[in-house]
Amino acid sequence: MTLKRQLLLVSLLTLVLPWAGYRFIHETESALRTGQQQMLAGTARAIADSLAKYPEEFPAASSSGRRVSDQIYGHALEARPEIDGYIDDWTIDRAALQTMRGVDGPVRFALGIFDQAVYLYVEVTDRHIVYAQPEAPPSGDDVGNGGRFSDGIQLVSSNPPYLENRFTFTAEAPGPIITHVETANGSTPEPTIHAQWQDVPGGYQVEARIPATLLGTHLGVVVFNTADDSQAPVRSSSFTGATPGAFVRSSPELTGIAANLVQPGMRLIVTDAAGWRIAQSGKLTPPDTGGSGIRSAWPRIIYDALVESGEEASLAEPDASGLEQQGYIVAALNGSESAGWFRSNESGTAVVAVAQPIRVRQHVVGAVILQQGTDAILSLTNEGLSRLINVTLIATILVAVTLLGYATWLSRRIRRLSVAAERALDGDQLRVRLPSAGSRDEVGDLSRSFSSVLQRLGDYNDYLRSLASKLSHELRTPLAIVTSSLENLEHEPLNEASASYAARARDGADRLRRILTAMSEASRVEELMQNVEPERLDLAAALAAAVAAYRDVYPDRRFVLATDLDTAPMRGSPELLIQMLDKLVDNAVDFSAAGDTVTVRLDRNDGRLLLAVENPGPSLPGRMRSQLFDSMVSMRPGSDSRHLGLGLYVARLIAEGHRGRIDASNIEGGVAVVVSLPGDNNGE
């Protein structure tokens, strides 16, 4: 892993700080919300005790064994609807409509209460509407007219255990209709009821206004669907038994009491034992969207991911149907105190709600629901998290950018030092001056250490390079003395043993002289390269003559000259170039066997002449390829004193003296030494 990535990962540790801050703010918010919830629970408990003093205001129908679905809820309307057969001007949501199964599809209906009147609205799905005939008023469940049947609606009203009344709505045509009231004494028109019939695609709608004094405590809706005017209609009812369910409506007495008990910014809801809303007062304070907080898109996403999520805030709103069925309210109706936490990311609304059962003689007759917005808590949380997110992001970005910039600068220094250290060994001279040597940090210490090592290596390398000439100079005089003494000794009368020893000493002196000659050859080549006068020559012709001579010198080897060049003009020293070729051929012969073929190639590439000597034999070790042309380096087995590892070094000196370069590589079955020399294209 690079230094940049390491420091970038280290910079991510700064995220521990915002996490710790988030945990602190989260715990603070939870503590504040718990305190608010406990306060609301105490208030709701006191309100429940106060409402328990009015047991007559809580309907007993919910405990009579009847199903809740049989009951009908009367919604309090805020304005007087116009009787036109449409529900658009009712101040309720369409979700408030109750549904029952019809013959051709669902039947939806609702009852509303406004100013001592009950309003009825019914939507009927009917594929074939059969209107009433004017011969006779409708009577009975058949809703018939003189033996003919029609579609219609009945509102069944009763005050158990008394008899029930039926309000029948049939139409001879769309528009205003006359309502008939069927009692034990017969069916009569009721002029105080105003009703309207409207045909709509797929069925019809009926809207009516009924004086509240005409209705009892129990109501039910019945719809008659007639396939044709000769068949009895099919009856669909909103209640399952023989009698309708209870008509549940708001209690003016409880509503007034709730208005006096509720505090500003709170909403108080009272339900009966079944969960029907019978009183409501107060409003929640809307969230302040203009204050401080998180309004930007991307901080808001981070905020929503951090804060504790509750149930959707819309679930805290009073149910449109009038039947409160939220979990915490059901728990209160079962006799347990409960609470709920609601929150909306879209609107920023947050609500704490508590539900307290109302008990009369140890029986639960209803529940008190008290709700309050948590604007103060959210404002504090929003402001704290907003600052935390902004400061954290800015700090993290600054730290990451700073560390990334520092890592880039530091890695660049180390990279420059690495490149300089690699290039320090290029060429004959060591470059001991490395970058960052003047710095006072660890990189500067490393650079100075490298420079010191390279300086010592350069001194040692210079010593090795001059060792051959020094030894040659220092040993030449003693060797001359030994040689002259041996020559003089040969002219003296010696016995057979002494003559043998003198001959051996003379051979040793000759070998030592050859060694000194080889050691001084490199120095002579360097001097010659400095003083040589380049001349124009044809390298192709020179190679042809040299290869022919090698065939005579090495009869046990086959020599091949491979080239497509007729001429290869260049400028240089013919003697030194042939000496370089001699070294390469001598090396190829030493590493090949009798009968092998040594190939001398000459090619041209991009204006340069490529001279290659190829021979079969063992491959070059990878570690030796870069040291093969250094001074006194030899790969020959044994300790042959005739070879000191100076041949290829001399070849390198000659190649570089001609502005060329030399390299060795492994080929299939052997080794190739390639010399690249500049050609003289202008001389062609």
Contacts of 643 (CB under 8 A, 6+ apart): 590, 634, 636
CATH at 612: 3.30.565.10
For the chain, residues with pLDDT lower than 50 are 61-64, 144-147, 289, 291-295, 638-641, 684
For 574: left if phi > 0, alpha if psi spans -120 to 50, otherwise beta; the answer is alpha
Distance CA 149, CA 152 (A): 10
Residues 295 and 215 in one domain: no
Please tell me the predicted confidence (pLDDT) of residue 142: 52
**pLDDT computed for residue 422 by the predictor:** 77
Output the pLDDT for position 292.
44
Query: How far is residue 357 CA from its own chain's centroid?
Result: 48
pLDDT computed for residue 430 by the predictor:
64
Answer for the pair 132, 153: CB distance below 8 angstroms, yes or no. no
Domain edge (last residue) among 239, 262, 293: 239
Cα separation of 277 and 322, whole Å?
5
Does residue 424 sit within a domain? no
CA distance 1 to 415: 15
- β-partners of residue 341 are 352
What's the CATH number where 210 sits?
2.60.40.1190
Please name the residue that has the structure tokens 């328990």. 52
Of 331, 332, 378, give the one whose Cα is nearest residue 352.
378
d(CA 410, CA 644): 46
Residue 631 shares a structural domain with residue 548:
yes
Whether residue 474 is contained in a domain is answered as yes
Whether 412 maps to a domain, the answer reads: no
Burial bucket for residue 9 (CB in 10 Å: 0-12, 13-18, 19+): exposed
| 328, 204: one domain | no
Shared domain for 270 and 228, answered yes or no, is no
The range of the structural domain enclosing residue 541 comes to: 533-683
233, part of any domain? yes
With contact defined as beta carbons under 8 Å apart, do 608 and 661 qualify? Answer: no
664 and 542 share one domain: yes
- Report helix, strand or coil for 250: coil
pLDDT on residue 51: 92
User: Helix, strand, coil proportions of the chain in percent (round to 5)?
Assistant: 40, 25, 35
Taking the CA atoms of the chain, what radius of gyration do you get in angstroms?
A: 57
How would you class 642 by CB atoms within 10 Å of its CB: exposed for 0-12, middle for 13-18, buried for 19 or more? exposed
Q: What's the CATH number where 473 sits? A: 1.20.58
Instruction: List pLDDT tens digits, range 37-50.
Output: 899 999 999 999 99
Total domains in the fold of the chain: 4
DSSP symbol at 465: H
Per-residue pLDDT, 416: 85
- The tens digit of pLDDT for each residue in 545-585 reads 999 999 999 999 999 999 999 999 999 999 889 989 998 99
- Show which of 488, 508, 526 is a domain's final residue: 526
Whether residue 161 has a cis bond before it, omega within 30° of 0: yes
How far apart, in Å, are the Cα atoms of 43 and each of 39, 255, 369, 371, 671?
6, 17, 10, 11, 100
Say if residues 350 and 374 touch (Cβ distance below 8 Å).
yes
Q: Position of tokens 């040689």?
A: 483
Residue 370: closest CA among 416, 426, 311, 324: 324
Q: Are residues 281 and 232 in the same domain?
A: no
115 and 216, same structural domain?
Answer: yes
Q: Are residues 661 and 537 in the same domain?
A: yes
Q: Please give the pLDDT value at position 446.
A: 84
Q: How many C-alpha atoms does 201 have within 13 Å on its Cβ side?
A: 0
Confidence at residue 146, expressed as pLDDT on a 0 to 100 scale: 41
- Are residues 303 and 226 located together in one domain of the fold? no
Q: Decide if 397 is inside a domain.
A: no
Instruction: With respect to residue 262, please indicate whether it lies within any of the assigned structural domains.
Output: yes
- Which is nearest to 670 in space by CA: 593, 609, 602, 601? 593
The neighbouring-strand residues paired with 110 are 121
**Residues 146, 271: one domain?**
no
DSSP 287: P
Domain assignment present for residue 458? The answer is yes
94 and 26 part of one domain: no
Among left, alpha and beta (phi > 0; psi -120 to 50; other), residue 419 is alpha
Is 168 within 8 Å of 187 (Cβ atoms)?
yes
Could you tell me if 673 and 544 lie in one domain? yes
Domain boundary among 217, 239, 261: 239
CATH code, domain with 294: 3.30.450.20
